């Protein structure tokens, strides 16, 4: 039967500035260091990662749902083969019919029969800024999603709960973008060269210095694509004879980088320190497989916030383990830089950890800074090595100057260097929005995963039919949500993922919550069996503790 | 029920009495053996060398890992980046000096084109800077769809797909189609992006000598013989040839018509990488297929980056929908990465507009390439590598000193000499330990439409001077 989480027994830790008696009780997982004084947005004790399990009937119905769809899939394949149903799938050329087939039939089974029927919920094109409100292009399908056509109409003012716009820097305000426009006028779009040849612009070096200051380390290096930052630098750091210990739910770019490096990869259970310690212990004691030579290096790869779960890494514990076993730590802060921490410095600030303890800090500029690209930051020796040995510096184009300027202005805003308090205001607004939204959703009875501080809120929907119905219903009500299913998530845990932004106003959040309430009742999505307040709308303010 | 059970019991007892003695004895021994095995201590294979806690603590204490990164000497040549202040256009300010640019891949001079900048600014005003999401999650803008349509129309293929980074394009495209167990035949001079794609695909890789069709045919024939021995396996093994239209490492072109013939004879698919030839070769800049007059449908996948002639950022793949549509779900650099910022996409669209309106620039570029090629011939000590119409040529040392690092130093001194005299050149950079087939060190000479005759004259005389002074 489903486990009830600790949340029923202990109230969640309160993150607002109010001193709460619960904080003393809440030392359950805390092996963390003493926290600093309580700031406005809360320094933390170890969080509650809640992963509530649904009732059993939900799992059964989910499997049943997938089973039925698969059966129908086989039926349709048969009909298509026989010729009773028109085959919309693109075909190989006549001249190449006797070549080895490019795709195996069963590889595409899922795409043909399941994904095609519901694919109107993804790749929705927009025709405006990806801010808190955007405009979607209306697209319809006459043949059950095999082809789409645009009606030419636009769906205006849809609330955007899907874009990674944590601090609201996706904006087109002329004043804010003045410097970026200047750079476009001066430099143009591209750079036409690599960093090591003649593409190293002065503006790149300025940004690198700024990033290093922002994070609080000695030096940093920037790259043109966030995905490529991982896949091109991990092979430069580790190679054959090294061990990579990576979290179960790491992003594809980390996994690709690890594979390309040629090192041995071992996986530990998500955020589970026992599993990690066991693995490290065994690795150091037994050495490389078969030969038992000692490992050259051990690199632990984790993320700051996991984008599908919304959970935050247990950084202090990992640092303790890393020091004990002399491993190196690679922290990917794609979602957490700028979005968590009292001044937006990421998980190191959230846990009050010295950034020098993390050997390699990596992050992207796509999410909180509204630009594109990635960075790696750390000690000077590391950066010098990467400057000469990174695949990106030698073979890939440098970052576009206008994008570089956008990152600089966003970072200066967050740091307060532009002379305003806009940055801190946005960070506080994001934290407030996060707390409010999560608390309200929990109150309504939805099962949500992840840490209370993380602006990524996955709402579990489980059944494939409900996932699709949810996305379509919300679009009808002019709210754009992101739904994810298999294979990005485990097969029984399909979910809708909300990404909160500092530019969401209270009215927008209230509207979304109200519609969620309606849709949740309509589609029976409120699976949580936690006690919740009978009057969710009456609960105002931050302290929405459970009634237990 | 009970009677049934009783009846079975009676039968059993009867059988017991009727069985021969040896049978009963054998059964008895077996039962005793089973009981013994059940109760004896389990013997684990690793029992013999299971470590005690104390030993483990000692091992952990003693183990010293390598440094995270090896120490680099301060004089490592790759540490000294040239600092460019201001835009890398025709007149480029390198390390404080204004030079004529012979090093950026700005072939059509679109980097500082006013129309392109205007369109980028308009897009900035409308969309802001970033897209804040991957293509699947509200990161698809109408600009992206327009760019894909325009590219498909320009190349006269059914469909095109855009990536947000040029390097990631081929590196994501190859593993989307070729998996473990498939076979890829690739040219030795393939660029690093292709090499990473090959590595990520985990297929069998066979290298053939650069541009040597006979070597390729030999490998294909060998594979054919292997296939005949094992037809069942051959029926599911996909085979690909990966070549570049114009090779970045050697500045020459692949013999495409012969490749197409080999394709049909041996039933292999062709993937063509056209980063250096898109916007350069062909009457309308469509690349090496137009240059040779090959039917574009004969090439399964064409991939190119938009960071050279198009002077933007990103890359694209084009081909038939049957082939390209697959990448929308399985191209890693497409699905798991944020999409291209709209202003860069708008810049690329405007660049395409300019290319379509005025095919004359390709003729101008080709003339300039021929001019530079002729002018750089016969420099004592340096030899020119590349085709006459290649926009990015290599100048190698005629006689290598035997050690790569001293060759590099010599060439670097030539580059520095030219930089002093206001001609910006660059050494071709490689990661020596990572490349499979390392090309000899060389200086890159890039031709753009913006260079005037006296610029070329100045550059050539500068190089000639440098060679005569520094190469004895």
pLDDT > 90 fraction of chain A, expressed in percent and rounded? 58
CA A305, A350, A177, B94 dihedral sign is negative
Are A184 and B117 within 8 A, CB to CB? yes
Answer yes or no: is pLDDT of A99 > 70: yes
Tell me what the mean pLDDT of segment B240-250 comes to: 94
Instruction: Specify whether the CB–CB gap between A163 and A363 falls below 8 A.
Output: no
Select from A386, A415, A444 the last residue of a domain: A415
CA dihedral B350→B351→B357→B359, nearest 10 degrees, is: 180
- At B402, the pLDDT band (50, 70, 90 cuts) reads confident
Q: Do A246 and A366 lie in a common domain?
A: yes
Report yes or no on A544 lying in a domain.
Answer: no
Q: Do A339 and A215 lie in a common domain?
A: yes
Select from A392, A415, A438 the last residue of a domain: A415
- Strands B159-163 and B183-187 come out as unpaired
CB-nearest to B72 from A385, A395, A396 is A385
The pLDDT score that the predictor gives to residue A481 is 93
Report yes or no on A480 lying in a domain.
Answer: yes
**Which DSSP state fits A312?**
B
Tell me what the mean pLDDT of segment A200-220 comes to: 94
Answer yes or no: is pLDDT of A38 > 60: no
Answer yes or no: is pLDDT of B340 > 90: yes
Tell me what the mean pLDDT of segment A120-143 comes to: 91
Instruction: Specify whether the CB–CB gap between B294 and B257 falls below 8 A.
Output: yes
The pLDDT score that the predictor gives to residue B434 is 87
Most confident range (mean pLDDT) of A32-36, B259-263, B397-401 is B259-263
Q: Do A216 and A105 lie in a common domain?
A: no
Q: How close does chain B come to A438, measured CA to CA in Å?
A: 21
Tell me what the mean pLDDT of segment B426-451 comes to: 90
The pLDDT score that the predictor gives to residue A146 is 87
Tell me what the mean pLDDT of segment B417-434 comes to: 91
Q: Do A144 and A179 lie in a common domain?
A: no
Tens-digit pLDDT profile for residues A232-259: 999 999 999 999 999 999 999 999 999 9
Instruction: Search chain B and give the residue with CA nearest A223.
Output: B165
Answer yes or no: is pLDDT of A152 > 50: yes
Are A93 and B333 within 8 A, CB to CB? no
The pLDDT score that the predictor gives to residue A451 is 86
Place of tokens 């071992």: A266
Report yes or no on A34 lying in a domain.
Answer: no
Instruction: Count the residues in chain B.
Output: 472
Task: Return the number of CB contacts < 8 Å for A and B.
Answer: 360
Total of domains in chain A: 2
Are A326 and B64 within 8 A, CB to CB? yes
Are A226 and B427 within 8 A, CB to CB? no
The pLDDT score that the predictor gives to residue B94 is 92
| Chain B partners within 8 Å of A231 (Cβ) | 168, 171, 196
Range of the domain at A399: 174-415
The pLDDT score that the predictor gives to residue A532 is 62
The pLDDT score that the predictor gives to residue A39 is 37
Instruction: Search chain B and give the residue with CA nearest A262.
Output: B199
Interface check for B142 against chain A (CB to CB < 8 A): the answer is yes
Q: How close does chain A come to B42, measured CA to CA in Å?
A: 23
The pLDDT score that the predictor gives to residue A40 is 35
Answer yes or no: is pLDDT of A141 > 70: yes
DSSP collapsed to 3 states, chain B: CHHHHHHHHHHHHHHHHHCCHHHHHHHHHHHHHHHHHHHCCCCCHHHHHCCCHHHHHHHHHHCCCCCCCCCCCCCCHHHCCCCECCCCCCEEEECCEEEEECCCCCCCCHHHCHHHHHHHHHHHHHHCCCCCCECCCCCCEHHHHHHHHHHHHHHCCCEEEEECCHHHHHHHHHHHHCCCCCEEEEECCCCHHHHHHHHHHCCEEEEECCCCHHHHHHHHHHHHHHHHHCHHHHHHCCEEEEEECECCCCCCECCHHHHHHHHHHHCCEEEEECCCCCCCCCCCCCCHHHHHCCCHHHCCEEEEECCCCCCCCCEEEEECHHHHCCHHHHCHHHHCCECCCHHHHHHHHHHHHHHHHCCHHHHHHHHHHHHHHHHCCCCCCEEEECCCCCCEEEEEECCCCCCHHHHHHHHHHHHHHHHHCCEECEECCCCCCCCCCCCCCEEEEECCCCCCHHHHHHHHHHHHHHHHHHCC
Model pTM score: 0.87
Name which of A35-39, A131-135, B219-223 the model is least confident about. A35-39
Interface check for B269 against chain A (CB to CB < 8 A): the answer is yes
How many C-beta atoms lie closer than 10 Å to residue B367's C-beta?
A: 13
Name which of A31-45, A151-165, A252-266, A314-328 the model is least confident about. A31-45
List chain B domain ranges.
Answer: 79-105+359-471, 114-357
- At B46, the pLDDT band (50, 70, 90 cuts) reads low
Question: Over the range A407-426, which residues count as b (16 or more CB within 10 Å of their CB) and which as e?
Answer: bbbbbbbbbeeeeeebbbeb
Rounded to 5°, angle at Cα A468 from A464 and A471:
140
Q: Do A241 and A386 lie in a common domain?
A: yes
CB-nearest to A381 from B71, B307, B430 is B71
Beta bridge partners of A134: A158
Task: Write down the number of H helices and E strands in chain A.
Answer: 17, 13
Is it true that domain B114-357 has CATH number 1.10.3720.10? no
Q: Do A321 and A400 lie in a common domain?
A: yes
Q: Could you check whether B79-105+359-471 and B114-357 share the same CATH topology?
A: no
Tell me what the mean pLDDT of segment B185-210 comes to: 94
The pLDDT score that the predictor gives to residue A11 is 40
Better pLDDT: B92 or A544: B92
Answer yes or no: is pLDDT of A147 > 90: no
Q: Do A140 and A193 lie in a common domain?
A: no
Average per-residue pLDDT in chain A? 85
- Please give the CATH number for the structural domain made up of B79-105+359-471: 3.90.1150.10
- At B52, the pLDDT band (50, 70, 90 cuts) reads confident
The pLDDT score that the predictor gives to residue B47 is 52
Answer yes or no: is pLDDT of A547 > 70: no
Answer yes or no: is pLDDT of A274 > 50: yes
Q: Do A192 and A108 lie in a common domain?
A: no
The pLDDT score that the predictor gives to residue B41 is 76
Better pLDDT: A541 or A346: A346
pLDDT > 90 fraction of chain B, expressed in percent and rounded? 72
Residue A69, domain CATH: 3.90.1150.10
The pLDDT score that the predictor gives to residue A36 is 36
* Closest to A371 measured CA to CA, from A411, A340, A342: A411
The pLDDT score that the predictor gives to residue A108 is 80
Interface test with B, best of A145, A158, A198, A209 (most B CBs within 10 A): A198
Report yes or no on A259 lying in a domain.
Answer: yes
At A462, which helix (H) or strand (E)? strand A456-462
Q: Do A350 and A214 lie in a common domain?
A: yes
Place of tokens 């049909």: B264
- At B58, the pLDDT band (50, 70, 90 cuts) reads confident
Report yes or no on A509 lying in a domain.
Answer: yes
**Which DSSP state fits A88?**
-
**Which DSSP state fits A461?**
E
The pLDDT score that the predictor gives to residue A485 is 86
The pLDDT score that the predictor gives to residue A349 is 92
Tell me what the mean pLDDT of segment B237-241 comes to: 94
Q: Do A126 and A183 lie in a common domain?
A: no
Instruction: Specify whether the CB–CB gap between B246 and B280 falls below 8 A.
Output: yes
Residue A395, domain CATH: 3.40.640.10
Report yes or no on A5 lying in a domain.
Answer: no
Interface check for B150 against chain A (CB to CB < 8 A): the answer is no
Q: Do A369 and A434 lie in a common domain?
A: no
- At A20, the pLDDT band (50, 70, 90 cuts) reads very low
Place of tokens 């973008």: A177
Report yes or no on A363 lying in a domain.
Answer: yes
| Chain B partners within 8 Å of A474 (Cβ) | none
Tell me what the mean pLDDT of segment A262-276 comes to: 93
The pLDDT score that the predictor gives to residue A48 is 54
Tell me what the mean pLDDT of segment A514-535 comes to: 82
- At B19, the pLDDT band (50, 70, 90 cuts) reads confident
Maximum CA extent, chain A: 76
Select from A378, A395, A415 the last residue of a domain: A415
Distance CA B394, CA B114 (A): 31
The pLDDT score that the predictor gives to residue A26 is 38
Q: Do A489 and A441 lie in a common domain?
A: yes
CA A24, A26, A30, A36 dihedral sign is negative
CB-nearest to B326 from A103, A260, A284 is A103
């Amino acid at each position: 039967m489903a486990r009830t989480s600790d949340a029923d027994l202990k109230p969640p830790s309160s993150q607002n500035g109010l001193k709460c008696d619960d904080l003393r009780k809440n030392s359950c997982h805390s092996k963390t260091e003493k926290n600093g004084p309580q700031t406005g947005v809360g320094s933390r004790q170890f969080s509650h990662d809640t992963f509530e399990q649904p009732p059993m009937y939900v799992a059964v119905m989910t499997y049943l749902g997938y089973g039925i769809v698969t059966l129908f899939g086989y039926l349709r394949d048969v009909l298509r083969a026989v010729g009773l149903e028109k085959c919309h799938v693109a075909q190989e050329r006549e001249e190449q019919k006797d070549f080895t087939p490019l795709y195996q039939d069963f590889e595409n089974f899922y795409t043909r029969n399941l994904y095609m029927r519901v694919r109107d919920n993804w790749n929705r094109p927009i025709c405006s800024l990806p801010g808190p409100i955007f405009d979607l292009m209306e697209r319809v399908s006459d043949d059950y999603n095999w082809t789409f056509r645009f009606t030419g109409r636009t769906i205006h003012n849809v609330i955007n709960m899907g874009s990674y716009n944590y601090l609201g820097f996706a904006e087109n305000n002329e004043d804010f973008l003045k410097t970026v426009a200047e750079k476009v006028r001066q430099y143009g779009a591209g750079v036409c060269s690599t960093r090591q040849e003649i593409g190293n612009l002065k503006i790149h070096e300025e940004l690198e210095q700024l990033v290093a200051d922002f994070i609080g380390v000695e030096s940093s290096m920037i790259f043109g694509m966030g995905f490529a930052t991982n896949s091109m630098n991990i092979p430069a750091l580790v190679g054959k004879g090294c061990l990579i210990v990576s979290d179960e739910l790491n992003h594809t770019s980390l996994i690709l980088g690890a594979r390309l490096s040629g090192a041995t990869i071992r996986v530990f259970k998500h955020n589970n320190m026992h599993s990690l310690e066991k693995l490290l212990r065994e690795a150091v004691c037994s050495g490389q497989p078969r030969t038992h030579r000692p490992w050259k290096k051990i690199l632990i790869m984790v993320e700051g916030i996991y984008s599908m779960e919304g959970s935050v890494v247990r950084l202090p514990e990992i640092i303790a383990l890393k020091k004990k076993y002399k491993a190196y730590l690679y922290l990917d802060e794609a979602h957490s830089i700028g979005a968590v921490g009292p001044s937006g410095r990421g998980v190191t600030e959230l846990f009050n950890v010295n950034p020098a303890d993390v050997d390699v800090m990596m992050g992207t500029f796509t999410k909180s800074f509204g630009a594109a690209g990635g960075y790696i930051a750390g000690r000077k020796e590391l950066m010098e090595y990467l400057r000469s040995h990174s695949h990106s510096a030698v073979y890939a184009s440098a970052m576009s100057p206008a994008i570089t300027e956008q990152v600089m202005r966003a970072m200066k805003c967050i740091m307060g260097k532009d002379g305003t308090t806009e940055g801190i205001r946005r960070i506080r607004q994001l934290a407030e929005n996060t707390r409010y939204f999560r608390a309200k959703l929990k109150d309504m009875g939805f099962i949500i995963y992840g840490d209370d501080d993380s602006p990524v809120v996955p709402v579990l929907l489980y059944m494939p039919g409900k996932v699709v119905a949810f996305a379509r219903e919300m679009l009808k009500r002019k709210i754009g949500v992101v739904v994810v299913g298999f294979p990005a998530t485990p097969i029984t845990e399909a979910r809708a993922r909300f990404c909160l932004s500092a530019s969401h106003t209270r009215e927008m959040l209230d509207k979304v919550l109200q519609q969620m309430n309606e849709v949740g009742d309509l589609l029976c999505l409120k699976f949580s069996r936690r006690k919740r307040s009978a009057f969710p709308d009456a609960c105002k303010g931050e302290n929405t503790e459970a009634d237990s | 029920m009970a009677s049934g059970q009783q009846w079975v019991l009676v039968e059993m007892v009867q059988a017991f009495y009727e069985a021969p003695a040896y049978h009963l004895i054998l059964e008895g021994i077996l039962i005793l053996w089973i009981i013994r095995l059940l109760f004896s201590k389990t013997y684990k294979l690793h029992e013999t060398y299971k470590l005690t806690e104390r030993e483990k603590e000692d091992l952990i204490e003693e183990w010293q890992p390598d440094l995270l990164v090896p120490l680099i000497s301060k004089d490592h040549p790759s540490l000294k980046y040239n600092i460019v202040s201001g835009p890398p256009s025709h007149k480029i300010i390198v390390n404080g000096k204004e030079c004529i640019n012979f090093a950026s891949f700005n072939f059509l001079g679109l980097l500082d084109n006013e129309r392109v900048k205007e369109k980028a600014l308009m897009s900035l005003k409308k969309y802001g800077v970033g897209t804040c999401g991957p293509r699947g999650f509200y990161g698809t803008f109408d600009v992206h769809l327009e760019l894909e349509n325009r590219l498909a129309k320009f190349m006269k293929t059914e469909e095109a797909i855009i990536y947000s980074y040029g390097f990631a394009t081929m590196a994501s495209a190859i593993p989307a189609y070729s998996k473990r167990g498939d076979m890829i035949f690739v040219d030795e001079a393939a660029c690093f992006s292709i090499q990473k794609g090959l590595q990520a695909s985990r297929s069998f890789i066979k290298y053939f000598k650069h541009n040597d069709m006979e070597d390729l045919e030999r490998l294909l024939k060998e594979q054919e013989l292997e296939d005949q021995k094992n037809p069942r396996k051959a029926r599911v093994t996909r085979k690909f040839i990966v070549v570049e239209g114009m090779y970045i490492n050697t500045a020459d072109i692949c013999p495409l018509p012969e490749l197409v013939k080999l394709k049909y004879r041996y039933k292999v698919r062709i993937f063509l990488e056209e980063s250096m030839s898109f916007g350069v070769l062909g009457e309308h800049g469509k690349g090496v297929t137009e240059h040779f007059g090959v039917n574009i449908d004969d090439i399964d996948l064409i991939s190119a980056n938009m960071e050279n002639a198009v002077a933007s950022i990103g890359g694209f793949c084009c081909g038939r929908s049957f082939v390209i549509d697959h990448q929308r779900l399985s191209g890693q650099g497409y699905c798991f990465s944020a999409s291209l910022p709209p202003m860069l996409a708008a810049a690329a669209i405007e660049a395409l507009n300019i290319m379509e309106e005025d095919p004359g620039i390709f003729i101008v570029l080709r003339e300039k390439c021929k001019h530079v090629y002729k002018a750089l011939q016969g420099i004592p000590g340096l030899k020119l590598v590349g085709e006459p119409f290649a926009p990015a040529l290599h100048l190698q040392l005629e006689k290598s000193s035997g050690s790569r690092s001293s060759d590099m130093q010599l060439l670097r001194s030539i580059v520095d000499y030219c930089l002093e005299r206001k001609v910006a050149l660059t050494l071709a950079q490689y990661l020596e330990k990572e490349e499979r087939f390392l090309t000899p060190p060389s200086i890159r000479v890039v031709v753009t439409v913006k260079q005037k005759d006296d610029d070329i004259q100045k550059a050539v005389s500068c190089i000639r001077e440098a060679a005569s002074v520094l190469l004895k």
